[in-house]
Amino acid sequence: MKNNKLKKQNHVTYDCNYHLIWTPKYRKSLLINGVDDDLKEIIQELSIELEFEIISMEIMPDHVHLLVSISPQLGVHKVIKRIKGRSSNILRKKYQNLRTKVPTLWTHSYFCATVGGAPLEVIKKYVEDQKEV
């Protein structure tokens, strides 16, 4: 987990940080007793594979908080989809209760908010004032 700076990748300079939250199906408290540690490991492996940065991560019994920096070329949805897909596959094979307590490990939905940078009103004014400069 690194400090947050401008990043460059394939003709793009970016600073795209997101707060992501998602839950197990029915928001059941399933992310305990080693599942949480295995999930963190899976997410860390995917961050290396997909080349996104984990700024902060916390696994709660019934939801996941992830603060990440993701290239616009990769995209948030692709990251979430890969994390949910791979973790569901691996964790449901390893932990029988994840196969018997819920039909699928994760809900289809997730929360995503951008983080950092100037407030929206400041950027809006900057864009609107461009022709006046």
- φ/ψ of 24, rounded to 5, equals -65, 160
| H or E stretch at 21 | strand 17-22
Phi, psi dihedrals of residue 114, rounded to the nearest 5°: -75, 150
Q: How far apart are CA 16 and CA 8, in angstroms?
A: 11
Residue 126 is a catalytic residue = yes
Identify any residues that bridge with 109 across adjacent strands, giving them in sequence order. Answer: none
| Rounded distance between C-alpha atoms, residue 4 and residue 54, angstroms | 10
Full 3-state SS string of 91-106: HHHHCCHHHHCCCCCE
**Which positions are catalytic?**
126
